[in-house]
Amino acid sequence: MIHDHPASIQPKASYHHGDLRSALVIAGEAVLEEQGVGGFTLAECARRAGVSKAAPAHHFGNVHGLLAAIAKKGADELVGRLEEALALVKDGPAQRVRCVARVYVDFALDRPERFRLMFGPARPSDQRGETLVASMDCALYILEREIAAVRPDISNRRAITVFTWSFVHGLAMLLLDRRLARLMEDDSADREVLISEAVQLLSF
């Protein structure tokens, strides 16, 4: 499991409005990965950010607001990763679709609990203007765009988009839930091989 941020954040002497909000989101990401949604509390996020217990509620309203902010940040990061990786692909449209698939699976494996939050049935709602749906639509647009580039004249683009997304999301979830253990050697190298071989099967 890869963590881009430290598990705890040192308190600051003072915060600007945006700095505190960001610090709480970063602290919340760490709590989420360690405790899951079930163990996620505003009090623990505040403790790690080095602020009062009331601070998260001031910025996010309630626990659902902070979780929504974490989910939106994840969705925005997914879009950024996709565009960054696609900018390096030089092997044609089909390989770009495979690149989207690989980035999606790697994203899920990097932060499992965040991924579950973003796509799970209990996706948080927010009353303070977070736009998770719009962020997720951007990721879907990238997939649609790349599929259209493979076959500009294709008539069933919607069905192929659904098929491709279902494939990569299902692969990510099977890996996260360790449902493929019987098919793999017990090491990360073989997992990498399995992911690469599965993604290569995406062909148009």
Predicted confidence at residue 136, as pLDDT, reads 82
Distance CA 50, CA 129 (A): 25
Predicted confidence at residue 8, as pLDDT, reads 41
Distance CA 134, CA 3 (A): 25
Q: Is 105 a residue whose pLDDT tops 90?
A: yes
What is the pLDDT averaged over residues 134-143?
88
Radius of gyration over every alpha carbon of the chain, rounded to an integer in angstroms: 19
Enumerate the H helices of the chain as residue ranges: 17-35, 42-49, 55-60, 63-86, 93-110, 112-119, 132-150, 157-176, 188-200
Q: Is 177 a residue whose pLDDT tops 90?
A: yes
The pTM for the full model equals 0.84
Distance CA 42, CA 45 (A): 5
| pLDDT-derived band at 111, boundaries 50, 70, 90 | very high
Predicted confidence at residue 92, as pLDDT, reads 92
pLDDT tens readout for residues 46-67: 999 999 999 999 999 999 999 9
The 10 Å CB-count burial string (b at 16+, else e) for 123-143 is: bbebeeebebeebbeebeebb
Q: Residue 138 in contact with residue 79, Cβ under 8 Å?
A: yes
Q: Which residue has the higher pLDDT, 9 or 28?
A: 28
Q: Is 130 a residue whose pLDDT tops 70?
A: no
| pLDDT-derived band at 76, boundaries 50, 70, 90 | very high
Going from the N-terminus, what domains does the chain have, and what CATH number goes with each? Answer: 1-60 (1.10.10), 70-200 (1.10.357.10)
What is the pLDDT averaged over residues 119-148?
75
What is the pLDDT averaged over residues 177-203?
89
Q: Is 7 a residue whose pLDDT tops 60?
A: no
Question: CB burial class (10 A; 0-12, 13-18, 19+) of residue 2?
Answer: exposed
Q: Which residue has the higher pLDDT, 141 or 155?
A: 141
